[in-house]
Amino acid sequence: MLRRSFMKLGGLSLFSSILGLSSKTSRIAQADEQTVNPLKSYWSKDGYFIQENVDTSETPERIWARVDGKWKVYPIAKLPLPFLVWNMERRLQSIDDMLNMKDMHFDGSHNAAVATYSDLPRLDSQFKLNNAIKGMGMCPKQDRIRDFIDEYKATIDYSTSMKLQILKQKYENLENWDRNRQISLELYTKQNWETHTFLNQMRNAESTVVFLDMTSYEIRTIAKLVHPDDPNISQEEKNCVEYSNMVHKFFHGDPIEFIGVIYYVIEVFDNSPRTTPRGKRVVPSYDY
């Protein structure tokens, strides 16, 4: 009797395992063929998405985000001046290296690791946490951004060396840059294929941005995803997305208008090896 019960339970267990494996396999296959959004489509019939978990109506003073099902308000902070100095020095160094035909390097102020998390994994993974390297940039102040865009458009057919000189001129003036945000592009998300970063930020906009360098900063942010075709975005958001795309086109020549991401600065930590204590919060200032 005991043996018969054991065999029955064993058979059910094996049958359940086979069903489970089959279910997982079909789930991943479906994710490969269709959208990987685990719940619903964020996209409108006109082909743009709507991010419902961030409210930027009170920027630049504060930003609202829905995290863990509750709306929270985050005072927007400024990147510290040492960060801006380091950022521009590294950009200028990269330009000089390119002008002198030196090898490209991927540490510094352009490439950042962006960590995101949400309450649900993407369909093809068991993990909710994601980390991805993103091209990150400073955003011009709003009273200068249109002039920058127009200049890049007018000089887009210049030689690479001339373009680099134009950028160098911009980076040499620290007063050009908005210290409340970083900007980036979501290059790979499409309506039928959404990255882990995109899905996480659409459900939880809290995102950390870390730069790999001996001067290593971590920026804790609220990410605002902006589709260039969304008719509801503000003029300021339009400017940021157009500028991000214009800089990308300036060097890569890609005609596509990509999704923009505005990373609003909330906290800044200095994770440099030389700091004491390491990982010190520098914005807002914190006494240890």
Q: Which stretch of DSSP H or E encloses residue 139?
A: strand 137-140
Q: 212 and 253: one domain?
A: yes
For the ranges 51-55, 83-87, 163-167, 282-286, the lowest mean pLDDT is seen at: 282-286
Q: 4 and 128: one domain?
A: no
Distant-in-sequence, close-in-space partners of 53: CB < 8 Å, separation ≥ 6: 65, 66, 67, 202, 203, 204, 205
Q: 119 and 194: one domain?
A: yes
Domain that holds residue 158: 54-283
Model pLDDT for residues 119-160, shown as the tens digit of each residue: 988 888 899 999 999 999 999 999 999 999 999 999 999 999
Is the residue at 74 inside a domain? yes
Model pLDDT for residues 77-114, shown as the tens digit of each residue: 999 999 999 999 999 999 999 899 888 777 889 999 99
In which band, very low, low, confident or very high, does the pLDDT at 203 lie, cut at 50, 70 and 90? very high
Is the residue at 40 inside a domain? no
Q: 96 and 60: one domain?
A: yes
Q: 10 and 104: one domain?
A: no
Looking at per-residue pLDDT, the higher value among 238 and 28 belongs to: 238
Side chain identity at residue 184, one-letter code: S
How many independent structural domains does the chain possess? 2
**In terms of Cα–Cα distance, which of 285, 238, 223, 218 is closest to 63?**
223
* pLDDT given at position 112: 95
Model pLDDT for residues 20-39, shown as the tens digit of each residue: 434 444 444 444 444 556 66
Domain containing 252 — which CATH number? 2.30.110.10
Q: 98 and 238: one domain?
A: yes
Is the residue at 47 inside a domain? no
Q: 249 and 109: one domain?
A: yes
Q: 94 and 174: one domain?
A: yes
Q: pTM here?
A: 0.86
In which band, very low, low, confident or very high, does the pLDDT at 217 lie, cut at 50, 70 and 90? very high
Is the residue at 238 inside a domain? yes
Q: What is the mean pLDDT of the chain?
A: 87
Per DSSP, helices labelled H in 79-228 are: 81-99, 142-154, 160-171, 196-203
> For residue 140, is the peptide bond before it cis, meaning its omega torsion is within 30 degrees of 0?
no
Q: 24 and 77: one domain?
A: no
For the ranges 2-6, 101-105, 183-187, the lowest mean pLDDT is seen at: 2-6
Q: 147 and 88: one domain?
A: yes
